[in-house]
Amino acid sequence: MYGNSNQPIIVLKEGTERTKDREAQFNNIAAAKAVADAVRSTLGPKGMDKMLVNTIGDVIITNDGVTILKEIDVQHPAAKMVVEVAKTQDTECGDGTTTSVVLAGELLKQSEELINSNVHPTVITSGFNMAAVKANEILREIATDADSDEMLKKVAITSLTGKSVGEEEDALADITVKACKAVAEDDKVDTKNIRVQKKVGGVIGDTEIIKGVVIDKEAVHSRMPKKVVDAKIALFECSLEVKKTEFDAQIQISDPSKMSMFLDEEEKSLKAIVDNIKATGANVVFSSKGVDELVQHYMAKAGILGYRRCKQSDLEAISKATGAKIVGGSMELTADDLGHAGLVEEKLVGEDGMAFITECKNPKAITIFVRGGTEHVLEEVERALNDAVRTVGVTIEDGKVVAGAGAAEIEIGQKLREYAASVGGREQLAIERFAKAMEIVPRALAENAGVDSIDSIIKLKNAHDKHKDGKNYGLDLETGEAVDMFERNVIEPLRVKTQAINSANEVANMILKIDDVIAARRSAPPQGAPGMDGMGGMPPGMM
């Protein structure tokens, strides 16, 4: 900037980068499109997987959109905003993460052409908002009631299809529906109460639902029983040891007999802990902290099965499954605090022992125990099950579903074009572009399946116009033909679609409204930090 005397007036700090107007808009749009393109090839049952290797060499193989975007270290601020769309979609619905990102990228691509035609970004955002509201209305009109377990199972199969679960979609879908129904209360499903516990070994088909909890722990003492029928369970949030003092203390003993008395007193206090546990009737103990060796010995002698250093989440799950109360003091346990399970058993799974707490009367927490050949397979099955559990959960809560495979998107596109003609003004152009952007989902599905995307879109549009139930016609990825997706059992929850459209619209509008990007220069890392030569850094030649 220059003043009256042509002297430069420095407003921004030296090294600050600034891009303005169209350059800023197009840079942001390009970054967002790059993120969308990165995950576009993973969309649908025929989508490809990505292999991600992090800085310490850990490998993740997945086609789950949100997992890919979380693992990629995105730098551009506009690209980060698109990644947030996937995270929100995952939190709200569990599925549809790739759809929401691809849709956001396509909305921005369509808006780029409008900006080039001198349509102001404010007009575009106004049109997009009108289109999003109308799209939600259309979705509610075409939605069908999900009123049976069979429908829930179809939703689960649709979510699992294309994930690396082999031919086990049907069995895993059954498990998912049973799990969601077991923890559902008043048409609300708290999916945190469905734990996914995994262990390498066996095959995916060995995955089972446990009406209770599985803990990856072994008993603290080898002489403890391996199986307890009619288990009365005590949960401790404290260590079962002699209490340590808050401050350092020294005890000086001059008489050897006093030493013996001191040790006897310590032993008495430890035995009192076990006596109290025994007196309440408890025969299984879980502690989140340590268990003294002497306490272990007395518990084994009394036939009590004990586990130590359990996670807080494990204790909470056992509490929900068995009705046990978590106790904060080793001497505070009473009979009222105990939970009940028909069976607590330690089983050898592979080389490790695991505690199975089963036959719980009315468990509010249950476990899906996943098996698989390798760690990578297990992780992908876990991600697939988490997605399926969330989608079935939101279907139970909302009770509404729509046809998948691009059926809903094509119907929205068709109806939005009719709506655009009734709006008039420049917003009409934006609504038409929004309608065109909706086609990206069936187009990407077709591309990933290796069928002609242009022919497929034309067939879908014709089917939606001609057939009585045209709204349910989606893309058959084997043939490229338009078929009724309710007959093919490709069904998705209504919330997955509404959330994807709303969040994609919001992020597109936010990026379009940015016309000035001012980026401060990054400060250099301190001397000796990782990545620098010198103390603590990488050796020369390792960069």
Which amino acid appears at position 247 of this protein?
A: F
Parallel, antiparallel or unpaired: strands 284-287 and 227-236:
parallel
Tens digit of each residue's pLDDT (9 = 90 or more) over 424-438 = 788 888 888 888 888
Buried b / exposed e over 21-48, threshold 16 CB at 10 Å, is eeebbeebbebbbebbebbbbbbbbbbe
Q: Please, where are the H alpha helices in 424-493?
A: 427-438, 440-449, 453-466
Q: Is 98 in the active site?
A: yes
Which pLDDT band, with edges at 50, 70 and 90, does 533 fall under?
Answer: very low
Please determine, for residue 142, whether its predicted confidence score (pLDDT) is greater than 70.
yes
Q: pLDDT tier at 117 (50, 70, 90 boundaries)?
A: confident
Smallest CA-to-CA distance from 387 within 395, 376, 375 is with 395
The 3-class SS string of 428-446 reads HHHHHHHHHHHCHHHHHHH
- The catalytic position among 387, 395, 484, 498 is 387
The mean pLDDT of 123-138, rounded to a whole number, is: 89
Residue 1, pLDDT above cutoff 60: no
CB 280 within 8 A of CB 234: yes
Q: What percent of the chain has pLDDT over 90?
A: 0
| Most confident of the following: 14-23, 130-139, 180-189, 468-477 | 130-139
CA distance 372 to 100: 30
Question: Is the four-CA dihedral 232, 238, 242, 243 of positive or negative sign?
Answer: negative
Annotated catalytic residue within 64, 292, 314, 337: 64
β-pairing, 305-307 vs 284-287, is parallel
Write the pLDDT tens digit of every residue in 487-524. 888 888 888 888 888 988 888 888 888 776 666 666 55
Grouping H, G, I as helix, E, B as strand and the rest as coil, residue 493 is strand
What pLDDT, on the 0 to 100 scale, is given for residue 8?
Answer: 62
Helix or strand holding residue 516 (H, E)? strand 516-519
The token pair that represents 396 in the structure block: 């139970």
For residue 366, the one-letter residue type is I
Cα Rg for the chain, rounded, in angstroms? Answer: 30
Residue 323 binned pLDDT confidence (cut-offs 50, 70, 90) = confident
CA distance 190 to 174: 18
Q: For 393, list phi and psi in degrees, rounded to 5.
A: -60, -45
pLDDT tens figures, 78-97: 788 888 888 888 787 777 78
DSSP class of 341: E
pLDDT digits (tens, 9 = 90+) for 461-482: 888 888 777 788 888 878 878 8
The CATH superfamily label for domain 213-362 reads: GroEL (3.50.7.10)
Q: Can you give the pLDDT at residue 180? A: 84
Residue 347: the pLDDT is 82
CB 456 within 8 A of CB 441: no
SS3 of residue 314 by DSSP: helix
Tokens 């050898």 sit at which residue? 348
The Cα 227–Cα 230 span in angstroms is 10
Cα angle: 357, vertex 352, 242; to 5 degrees: 70
Q: Alpha helix locations (H) across 48-120?
A: 65-71, 77-92, 97-116
How would residue 350 be classed by pLDDT, with cut points 50, 70 and 90? confident
CA distances from 223 to 31, 97, 303 (A): 62, 50, 9
pTM of the model: 0.75
337 with 234: CB under 8 angstroms? yes
CA dihedral 146, 147, 150, 151 (to 10 degrees): -10
Q: Is the pLDDT of residue 537 over 80?
A: no
Task: Tell me the per-residue pLDDT of 201-221, one tens digit each, with 9 for 90 and over.
Answer: 777 777 888 888 888 888 888
When the pLDDT of each residue in the chain is averaged and rounded to a whole number, the result is 79
Say which residues have a Cβ less than 8 Å from residue 314's Cβ, sequence separation at least 6. Answer: 213, 215, 217, 286
**CATH class entry, domain 17-144+403-518:** mainly alpha
CB distance 97 to 90 below 8 Å: yes
For residue 160, pLDDT beyond 50: yes
Segment among 18-27, 147-156, 250-259 with least mean pLDDT: 250-259
pLDDT band at 540 (very low <50, low <70, confident <90, very high): very low
Amino acid (one-letter) located at 123: V
| Whole-number Å distance between alpha carbons of 202 and 219 | 24
Q: How far apart are CA 355 and CA 372, in angstroms?
A: 19
Q: Residue 528 pLDDT more than 70?
A: no
64 is catalytic: yes
Of 42, 62, 67, 97, catalytic: 97
Domain residue ranges of the chain, discontinuous segments joined by +: 17-144+403-518, 213-362
- The one catalytic residue in 42, 67, 88, 98 is 98
Residue range 148-157, pLDDT digits in tens: 778 888 888 8
